[in-house]
Structure 1
């Protein structure tokens, strides 16, 4: 009746007078539409409650992670609480009072109704505004450590003797009058640790826009230095760019930074900065505050090198630790056991013999912690009985302290792996896959016969060496590093065991003759300038031979190698040639009947048929080599367990039935390589069907251009790890180290053929979808609606027909767990994407692990999350949305 009255009142107002009477109409509406205003307030309060929950959950999770909450988020939550518990609650509670009648029930209480209705309308508007203000893309941030005025290091490493030097270097780095600063001290004293802390401090202080760092080493690799600096700057070089081109691009990039700190660690000889691409300018010139420029910090063992050759303007000496500091570091690592009356005097003498060097103290302390008194006594006895050696300026007793850490390794396999690492060039990354392949060829791992078992064993041994401070993490995945002091010790110990790492000597042929007389068991020529080798190797006991040419990585080096080179070396088990141009492989290679591991990386290879004579070969790798054909003879290698053809871009021909004959194959790598399955111009090629004959296969990387040739029953369910690209083009795509099963579906026109791969898709951990046709619903059409139970990361790009990522037939509730393990979701250029999830989720574990979501150029997307999806996002840390012009809200219906 009230609504009719209001309508009648409005109808008598002319159109021309509506503007004049609009305020009056609104006031009257407070009397006749009070229930509508109350209901609208309740609805807005309910929506506000939903929004508050969506904000509070990630806030709680972020707090548990130690992150800090943005002030605006905290203020919004407080405002919501004040509104809900104060204004809104008061109005809703007064609703009963307004319903009471006056004049003994003859008419409504118009005054109360008017006041309450007006308050409700105002409060509903305020609630709606709060809902709108609660659309936070992120609620928290990872705080930077607060500066405490000293080195931000573990308590074990924060010494008074380092504080003054640290502070002085930080101040020098900030001084606009200084371009080049030197830090020097003996090997193992802690130069690298200190400059890393300086880098951290100046970034916290925002003194520099960028900090980049590269290790130079005793044998500088210009390309490696350039690549590391570029990586830190977010640059990428082309595959075939020369060092000159890289230097130019790097220089131009560095000039664009207003203030950049460049750290070049471990310099042994003069380094031409301009050849690397570092613009250091006139060192005498004072820079203005608004002028761009580079500040360079150099570390070296030699002050004269810094001053005279590198023109450093100010140099800082890092000395060894004092006796008290050395004991403090040692006791911090070994724990309270060093303070017992029985062990204390032993600990004191051991510390004294380490002569204040942190690297020596750390290695021996880690070897002794948690050991018995007898173990400590034996360690001291060994130190006393060892001959102190001075190598490359290493102080007396330092060698023996590190050697003792090696001797105290309780597992012989760990010792062997340590010596293998010593065969690499000092300062260069040590590739874990190579250690595995060498170790298998040398039968280093006891009672290990399968590659999967060997991989686990290698990682276990590396952890043991890291725990003893004999190895450290590398800069990239599947790499480790060795401190240069420890590398010197490793080389020396290996030499005693007739395992030779040959330096870049002037007369290599003479040096090789000397070593051959020693009857060696291993020879390594890592990253050397080599043009000619001896005519014959003639090392009957030789098990391993490694030769890595220096090169710049863009092209192999031509080398003269006699056909007789391997005569007298028939017992060789591991052979690795990297970066060499072979017009033909030496004919004596066929005599290596004991060879088990053969690696020919970054080589130019023509006729490789002779490899088929190596009947005991178990591991064969042509990674990154220029090879056009895999001949029939490779099929004779029936003991082969690993074949690596990764990134052999020229490989177009694999003879039929070669792969299928390799029945013992456990790992097959063909990523970025051969893709012409079944047919090749003028003949036939290997078939995908041949993979079905490889019953022991656990690892597979392949590219299949033509999805139509996929066999109906190609399941490969036993694969432990795989990287499979199906479609027109193999592009490298980033993968997470924690995951091991990747698939890329790229530029496919008939997705129905992927029904054959659905079992693999269900086990996939990292999935990349690009330019697919015929797919509207990712989960329903590619996974039978099972929700991708193992997927960790999903990237979808340029799929123009996709309407939703998750949906159900008939828009019923989705009852399965959808993406229960998914951590990262990236959606790019999905121009018809309407919603991520178009139906309510009934499973609480759907999307529960999602941490990162990135959405870009999805024009039709109106909301990011549905309500049923958003309530599960307890771990969400980051949400990025770009160029989504029609996005109206973060959380919407469904």
Structure 2
């Protein structure tokens, strides 16, 4: 035992001695080898600086895309900045530690010791930062929240509205009420009321999510699903309605408290098919019934609110027993609303008596009051008196669901319009649908009908059209569409326009007819000037021939591609100026098309097409639109259309052949659209001793009147010198094989967009220099280019608003002139 004890004591003494040596050695190392301790954090700082710069670039791109940066990324960047400051302080302390003490005879070991200790701590923190700096993602998309102005814009807190508003809010709080209906006549303010309800529900925190979408008389399930998903921050991966329905249902089950508002339903709607768990509320489906049933109200509050013009639809079709009426305004409220719009002049002794009678004729309907008030604002007293006389003498047309005199109220606004405004107003009425009206279509129709006086070019026509649209919006007769490129019309006003058009102008909008053939042959007057058959799932046969000698416009949009167009259908329409057949199978084109010698606009969008050579016989044609058709070859006969001013081949993805010299023959062409379309451009001249079989880009140079161009070219090399001229006022041009065509400009409002792919050399960039000077939106794909932007244009880009660079890893700088032009815009 004694020997063991002695051995243990000896071993312990040995270890203590070694530990003491290590401790003393470490302390000496701190004092004498301070520079080696400082080296490590300096190396870490350099690695972190490079990583930080990369992360900052990712953060900058994410912020430009509107995404939110993760907290751990921001914290890491802050930590790196703090670390850099600590390393910088070490450098300062290192200089101090180099100084010697005792008049330069001895090194300052204390400062060196402290410096080494601090450097060791900094290095430990640097290692942690390096370990945390590899982020898979730096950001996440933000769920956009609607602001108060979106919900309550246009809402007036009228006393007559407060009771129904309070009743709806109480129903939302009632655990025994799951579905709520709001009804009332068109234009009474149902939408503004439920928007106020939505905002109040959010303010009172009754629901975690409130989503609202518009259904309309022709429900588009995909559109409804997309609007709901957008508000929930949900992205669909399923292309089908049924697949998206399952995704929505799953999302709804994950929400504890949600309010779904469906505005403007006209008939029974299958909510289960959309993905809104309607059936679960009433009877439940399988296990889902138990999921919804067993949760307490404070854990689960799921409600649906619907609006409709018809209480019967809510009560009988949707089985809603809690329905609330939004009624007309009181006389005092009607007066207040009218006075608010027209201003203080209404209180003068001359205007007030007339104004009181005018407001009375508006029947306390908000839409009617607003429409008349805006029509009379800033007008003289005789104009007001004349308006009152018209209302007093008129014989209002009866339109189902509208109060007496409302039709004549809208008519009055129509009569205040100028001639061109009236024509455009009627034209919009003929084409108004649930998705609104594309402004580009209105331009094609208006120019074909010579609707604008003293307008001869498409550029002037577009300017006139936009001006008239602005005027109609200001008069509350047109509304913004779902995109910046469309407009729509309020349903009441639309009903009145159709009434006016059919009775005064012999213009007819035919929908939901039982016997289409009988209507066209017997019911529509032969003196008609316009006939539109929109959005029809027609199964009836069309007449063999139609005799409408004064018809100027004929429009047929069928969802049934088996519908046959009789060969002689158009032989009795010889004055036709605008023909639009959308979604029709035209294999072949009817031979009677050649009878339309006065045709100005021909639209065959979305049609199944074969040989369209017959179109070349329409010598007066100015607008030819084949958007989204399946045409594979543009016949050479199209080159005979020497008066053509617009050719729209957008989204003709099957178009493979355009014979040589067809494009160049269209010498009066002003607008050419080939986005997401023809790509098979050939080089001018002989190829392997063979003549060209396809169009050459050089043919565009012959189009001296061209002001608008949308085109996709695979390479800069096929672009000849001086191909583009300063006459181009709007363009979307893609150059390179990396671009996916987007139907509209990425940023919405730009009219001049250029996308270019560049490889190592940019020697050919001068071929598009004239475009670069005026480009508003520029996209660059850079491969091995270091100073491309500087070499593009030495004066910068005076009109550039948006710049997007991809794969620009070797890009060294952006020139100062360019940045000034960007900041100025």
Please give the range of the TM-score, normalised by the shorter of the 2 chains. 0.7 to 0.9
Matched with 2:778 is 767
Q: Report the Cα offset of residue 491 of structure 1.
A: 0.5
| Residue 809 (structure 2) pairs with residue 803 (structure 1) | yes
Q: Is the 8 A contact 1:156 1:332 kept in 2?
A: no
Higher relative contact order (CA 8 A, sep 6+): 1
Q: Is the 8 A contact 1:751 1:775 kept in 2?
A: no
Q: In the TM superposition, what whole-angstrom CA distance separates every residue of 1:361-384 from its partner, at most 9, and x where no partner exists?
A: 111111111112222111111111
Matched with 2:817 is 817
| Residue 346 (structure 2) pairs with residue 335 (structure 1) | no
> Separation in 1 of the partners of 2:566 and 2:146?
60
Q: Report the Cα offset of residue 721 of structure 1.
A: 1.2
* 1:654 match: secondary structure: coil
> Separation in 1 of the partners of 2:705 and 2:789?
32
Moved more, 263-272 or 645-654: 263-272
Q: How does 1:328-727 map to 2 (within 5 A)?
A: 328-409=336-417, 411-495=418-502, 496-530=504-538, 531-549=540-558, 551=559, 557-678=561-682, 684-727=693-736
Matched with 1:282 is 280
Q: Report the Cα offset of residue 339 of structure 1.
A: 1.8
Q: Is the 8 A contact 1:643 1:665 kept in 2?
A: yes
Matched with 2:269 is 271
Q: Report the Cα offset of residue 593 of structure 1.
A: 0.9
> Separation in 2 of the partners of 1:821 and 1:712?
26
Q: Report the Cα offset of residue 221 of structure 1.
A: 4.7
Moved more, 470-479 or 700-709: 700-709
CA gap of 1:573–1:236, structure 2 versus 1, over 3 A, is farther
Q: Report the Cα offset of residue 526 of structure 1.
A: 0.9
> Separation in 2 of the partners of 1:596 and 1:313?
55
> Separation in 2 of the partners of 1:236 and 1:526?
31
> Separation in 2 of the partners of 1:367 and 1:237?
47
> Separation in 1 of the partners of 2:413 and 2:736?
52
Q: Report the Cα offset of residue 657 of structure 1.
A: 0.2
Q: Report the Cα offset of residue 159 of structure 1.
A: 1.6
* 2:279 match: secondary structure: coil
> Separation in 2 of the partners of 1:251 and 1:237?
9
Q: In the TM superposition, what whole-angstrom CA distance separates every residue of 1:300-344 from its partner, at most 9, and x where no partner exists?
A: 111121111112252221111111111111111111112222212
* 1:299 match: secondary structure: strand
Q: How does 1:102-181 map to 2 (within 5 A)?
A: 153-154=152-153, 157-170=156-169, 172-173=171-172, 177-181=176-180
Q: In the TM superposition, what whole-angstrom CA distance separates every residue of 1:706-727 from its partner, at most 9, and x where no partner exists?
A: 4432223323332111111222
* 2:678 match: secondary structure: coil
When the two chains are superposed, the root-mean-square deviation of aligned CA atoms in Å is 5.3
* 1:558 match: secondary structure: coil
Q: Report the Cα offset of residue 215 of structure 1.
A: 2.5
> Separation in 1 of the partners of 2:563 and 2:641?
27
Q: Is the 8 A contact 2:762 2:788 kept in 1?
A: no
Q: In the TM superposition, what whole-angstrom CA distance separates every residue of 1:257-287 from its partner, at most 9, and x where no partner exists?
A: 2345443322222222234444323223655
* 2:282 match: secondary structure: coil
| Residue 742 (structure 2) pairs with residue 738 (structure 1) | no
> Separation in 2 of the partners of 1:419 and 1:586?
29
> Separation in 2 of the partners of 1:427 and 1:652?
34
* 2:803 match: secondary structure: strand
Q: Report the Cα offset of residue 348 of structure 1.
A: 1.5
> Separation in 1 of the partners of 2:433 and 2:750?
31
Q: In the TM superposition, what whole-angstrom CA distance separates every residue of 1:674-718 from its partner, at most 9, and x where no partner exists?
A: 100117999610000000001111111111134432223323332
Q: In the TM superposition, what whole-angstrom CA distance separates every residue of 1:619-649 from its partner, at most 9, and x where no partner exists?
A: 1100011101100110011111100000011
| Residue 241 (structure 2) pairs with residue 247 (structure 1) | yes
Matched with 1:256 is 250
CA gap of 1:730–1:415, structure 2 versus 1, over 3 A, is same
* 1:161 match: secondary structure: coil
Q: In the TM superposition, what whole-angstrom CA distance separates every residue of 1:524-552 from its partner, at most 9, and x where no partner exists?
A: 11112224212222111111111112x2x
CA gap of 1:17–1:195, structure 2 versus 1, over 3 A, is farther
> Separation in 2 of the partners of 1:176 and 1:254?
23
Matched with 1:884 is none
Q: In the TM superposition, what whole-angstrom CA distance separates every residue of 1:187-239 from its partner, at most 9, and x where no partner exists?
A: 1111122223334444554824361413322x44555545655666554775x
TM-score by length of 1: 0.72
Q: Report the Cα offset of residue 390 of structure 1.
A: 2.4
TM-score by length of 2: 0.78
> Separation in 1 of the partners of 2:174 and 2:664?
66
CA gap of 1:146–1:209, structure 2 versus 1, over 3 A, is closer
Matched with 1:42 is none
Q: Is the 8 A contact 2:564 2:585 kept in 1?
A: no
CA gap of 1:631–1:255, structure 2 versus 1, over 3 A, is same
> Separation in 2 of the partners of 1:626 and 1:174?
54
Tell me which protein shows more helix as a share of its residues: 2
Q: In the TM superposition, what whole-angstrom CA distance separates every residue of 1:45-87 from its partner, at most 9, and x where no partner exists?
A: xxxxxxxxx9xxx9xxxxxxxxxxxx9xxxxxxxxxxxxxxxx
* 1:742 match: secondary structure: strand
Moved more, 617-626 or 387-396: 387-396
Matched with 1:885 is none
> Separation in 2 of the partners of 1:142 and 1:250?
19
Matched with 1:858 is none
> Separation in 2 of the partners of 1:627 and 1:237?
29
Matched with 1:304 is 312
Q: Is the 8 A contact 1:779 1:788 kept in 2?
A: no
Q: Report the Cα offset of residue 474 of structure 1.
A: 0.9
* 1:371 match: secondary structure: coil
Matched with 2:768 is 757
* 1:763 match: secondary structure: coil
Moved more, 339-348 or 228-237: 228-237
Q: Report the Cα offset of residue 748 of structure 1.
A: 5.9
Q: Report the Cα offset of residue 754 of structure 1.
A: 3.8
Moved more, 377-386 or 224-233: 224-233
Q: Report the Cα offset of residue 143 of structure 1.
A: 12
